[in-house]
Structure 1
Amino acid sequence: MILVLNGPNLNLLGTREPTVYGATTLSDLEGMCESWGAELGTNVTCRQSNYEGQLLEWIHEAESHGFTGIVINPGALTHYSYALRDAIAGQKLPVVEVHISNVDAREEFRHKSVTAAVCKGKISGLGVFGYRLAMDYLMEITRA
């Protein structure tokens, strides 16, 4: 089972800066992730929160709830949340960081990720398809 976590402001997908993030809504994205999971032969649970502490709790309990990997788009928390970084580092599941936009082609403050170093990988700039690639990768490494 894969846990897909979306952080702050991702509830506004489809309406917030569509030239940057596209027209896909969070509901659309969650449906796509669930469909992709079915294609990959796994269940997918999607969650979104604007609250850092809630994301930390979901990460802390993921393994005990039967998840085998986590896809996370931390939103702006990517750039400064050492609590999120430590939560990822402090658990055993593989985590892939995903960003819809190409963060390296945007504002300077977006170029630094404090969470990427404790993730198995980072996918950026491929739109919502990055979630699919992250799920493919997690399935590959958890089957091995």
Structure 2
Amino acid sequence: MKILILHGPNLNLFGRREPHIYGTTTLAQINERLTALATELRVELELLQSNHEGALVDKLHECIDSVQGALINPAGLTQHGVSLHDAIKAMPFPVLEVHMSNIAARETWRAHSIISPAVKGTIQGLGPHSYLAGLRALVEMLRDAGG
């Protein structure tokens, strides 16, 4: 089983960007934790971080037949990523949305995700554990479905 992990714009700055909101865990540390969990769960990961919506869309298209599911933290594209929303809806596999912070508890404009209607579910507000919980949930869902 192969899972795609997509990290959106500015997430390469985790650990430095607004640590009072996102904490001090870096993206490299999150990816290390995800990789360790994937080994435990006996799944393979494909990881990408991009500051460009088109690169994330391209990766989804590229993986349409080679992965069984995806996790995405759309970051700044959460509220405005129309082409990302549309690409997710076109995927034949489940996609889960993850956020380090609780976007509903932040600025009013952040509370609405246009990505959420395109995904199977959302996990937010748990810091790096949002990613880990998302990976566990996705793998369990796929295994329950016989994937």
- The normalised TM-score by structure 2 is 0.94
Where 1:87 maps in the other structure, the secondary structure is: helix
- What is the CA–CA distance in structure 1 between the aligned matches of 2:97 and 2:138, rounded to whole Å? 11
Q: How do 1:18-29 residues align onto structure 2 when only pairs under 5 Å count?
A: 18-29=19-30
Which runs of 4 or more aligned residues in structure 1 lie more than 2 Å from their structure 2 counterparts after TM superposition?
Answer: none
Q: Which residue identity lines up with residue 127 of structure 1 in the other structure?
A: G
* Structure 1 residue 141, shift from structure 2 partner: 1.6
Tell me the equivalent position of 1:44: 45
8 A Cα contact 1:99 1:124, kept in partner: yes
- Percent sequence identity over matched residues? 43
In structure 2, runs of 5+ residues without a counterpart are none
- Which residue in 2 is equivalent to 1:75? 75
Aligned to 1:96: 96
Tell me the equivalent position of 1:106: 106
CA-based RMSD: 0.8
Tell whether the 8 Å contact from 1:34 to 1:45 is kept in structure 2 after alignment. no
Alpha-carbon offset, residue 110 of structure 1: 0.5
Q: Distance in 1 between matches of 2:84 and 2:110?
A: 16
- One-letter amino acid of the counterpart of residue 43, structure 2: T
Which TM-score applies when normalising by structure 1? 0.96
The one-letter amino acid of 1:137's match is A
State the Cα distance separating 1:88 from its structure 2 match: 0.2
Shift of 1:62: 1.4
Q: Once the 2 structures are TM-superposed, how far is the Cα of residue 61 of structure 1 from its aligned partner?
A: 1.6
In structure 1, runs of 5+ residues without a counterpart are none
Give deviations 1:70-124, integer Å, cap 9, x for gaps.
0000001010111110000011110000000011110011000001111010011
Question: Offset at 1:140?
Answer: 1.2
Give the whole-Å Cα distance in 2 for the aligned partners of 1:30 and 1:135.
12
Aligned residues: 143
SS at match of 1:79: coil
Whole-angstrom distance in 2 between the partners of 1:44 and 1:90: 21
In the TM superposition, 1:117-132 aligns within 5 A as 117-132=117-132
